[in-house]
Amino acid sequence: MLPSPANLIVTVDVVLLTLQDNRLHVALTRRENEPFQGHWALPGGFIHPQEDDSAKAAAARVLREKTAIASPYLEEFGTFSGPVRDPRGWSLTVVHYALVARQVLSERVALYPVETLPDLPFQHRHMIESVVQRVRSKSSYSSLPVYLCPEEFTIPELHRVYESVLGEKLGMANFRRKLDDLGMLEVVQRTDKPNGRHRPAQLYRLPTHLRGSLAVRERGI
């Protein structure tokens, strides 16, 4: 058996999601090269065997290079492959997804609401829709949405994040019971003065053993 043919195109793509105005947005960048030069597309690129220890490492590198973001949560979603999705020939891409809190973005990055995407090459629209579905599904039984919050957050904040991602109202009392159950909260003492004219909420962060990973519940959020 011979090594795999040289005409097989192997890339990684990253679906980077964040919340803006309580709605999921995806980060798109302008393509610098042909094909589709100048078009919006997912941040993506070739695997560099000399630099990358794995497809996931390649995705992290590509994300860093194209958006200057290092996400605390990055996971493989799956592959998309076939003879027609890239005009250059048979291609395979390993799609990853990442979640970050809203933050300052470089000028070469645009955020689009996941419901109203522009035309995108390489089946990127399909990838984004599939990832969003997976993220909604996983959010319904895990701590995943915490990665859409800043490092320190309050329960009311996290509550709004869950409601935004899932698109439904969640009772606060049950929500707290389930967060307890997930063991995903570590108390943080406030150092700053809260700003409202009302009772300030307790600050929390993700405990060390959960950073970059998920806590999961059998019976949902």
Least distance in angstroms from the C-beta of 193 to DNA = 6
Q: Up-side HSE of residue 5: CA atoms within 13 Å toward CB?
A: 7
**CB atoms inside a 10 Å sphere around CB 55:** 18
Q: Is 95 in contact with 80 (CB distance < 8 Å)?
A: yes
148-167 footprint of DNA as x/- string (CB under 7 A): ------xxx-----------
Bridge partners (DSSP) of residue 110 are 28
Cis omega (within 30 of 0) on the bond before 3?
no
Q: Please say which residue, 108 or 190, places its beta carbon nearer to DNA.
A: 190
Look at residue 191 and give the partner it binds from DNA, a second copy, none, a contact being a CB closer than 5 to 8 Å depending on partner kind. none
Among 202, 211, 213, 216, binds DNA (CB under 7 A): 202
Q: Is 36 in contact with 119 (CB distance < 8 Å)?
A: no
Bridge partners (DSSP) of residue 53 are none
- Binding piece for DNA, criterion CB under 7 A, among 24-32, 65-73, 84-92, 171-179: 171-179
Pairing of strands 23-30, 40-41: antiparallel
Of 58-77, binders to a second copy (CB under 8 A) are: 76
Residue count at the site for DNA (CB under 7 A)? 23
Q: Please say which residue, 151 or 181, places its beta carbon nearer to a second copy.
A: 181
Of 1-60, binders to a second copy (CB under 8 A) are: 1-11, 32-33, 45-47, 49, 53-55
Q: Does 137 bind DNA (CB under 7 A)?
A: no
Question: Which of 149, 160, 134 is CA-nearest to residue 185?
Answer: 149
Q: Which residues bind DNA (CB under 7 A)?
A: 154-156, 169, 171-174, 176-178, 193-194, 196-202, 217, 219-220
